[in-house]
Amino acid sequence: MLDFNFFEIHSEKHEKQSLKRLVVISLVTIVITAAILYPVFNYITINKLNKEIVTMKSVLYSDNTYEVINKLEDQKAELERLNTILKELTVANEMVDSQRTIDEGVIRYITGNLPKNVYIQAISIRPELIDIKASTTSKEDIAQFEFNLKNSFGDTKVFIPSIVLNDDLYKFSLIITIEDVKADENK
């Protein structure tokens, strides 16, 4: 007859599990966990993207969106037009600056030779001459102004083509040739 010992299971010593078996079980556990978590992560990401798509579609298809887009396109066209004008004006300004430079030294020199009662209304500087429009109360001041300019500019041609008396005020024009002025300034 067989003798059954029900406590025999508890009395045996268990063998240690091998290291290879533990590594295999760990790797299998990691792979199974990754295989389960990857689809879950993808599912969550897809749901999040679907919600964003629905939100973007609702904004895109709203009535206000087309008005805003049209307004922005109009503003973009206006901005491009203004940028074109700005470029043209910048080029024109550079051309004016390079071609028309007012010689401040000459203007200061002219105004420094003014008699006390002579008032300049306009100075026109052209390539060939300087034309001064002025007014005064006496003919002597006109003669003094011409004399001052002839003495200060040397042998330049300074002449007065017209003098008009209007309401006790002499309005006159005085012309200086520029070639002589430039030659004198270089001395």
If we measure between CA atoms, which residue out of 128, 136, 131 comes closest to residue 174? 131
| 14 has a pLDDT exceeding 80 | no
- End-to-end CA separation in angstroms for the chain: 145
The pLDDT assigned to 186 comes to 44
Residue 180, pLDDT > 50, answer no
Domain boundaries, the chain: 104-185
Supply 174's token pair. 């005085």
* Structural fold of domain 104-185: Gyrase A; domain 2 (3.30.1360)
158, exposed or middle or buried, with CB in 10 Å at 0-12, 13-18, 19+? buried
What's the confidence (pLDDT) of residue 83? 93
Predicted local distance difference test score (pLDDT) of residue 154: 64
* 9-28 average pLDDT score: 73
Confidence of residue 176 (pLDDT cuts 50, 70, 90): confident
Q: Are 164 and 170 in contact (CB under 8 A)?
A: yes
pLDDT at 34: 94
The residue type at 155: D
pTM: 0.42
Residue 173: which of 184, 161, 182, 157 has the closest Cα?
161
pLDDT digits (tens, 9 = 90+) for 53-108: 999 888 877 778 778 888 999 999 999 999 998 998 888 777 766 665 556 767 77
What's the pLDDT tens digit per position in 139-163?
Answer: 899 888 888 888 776 666 888 888 9
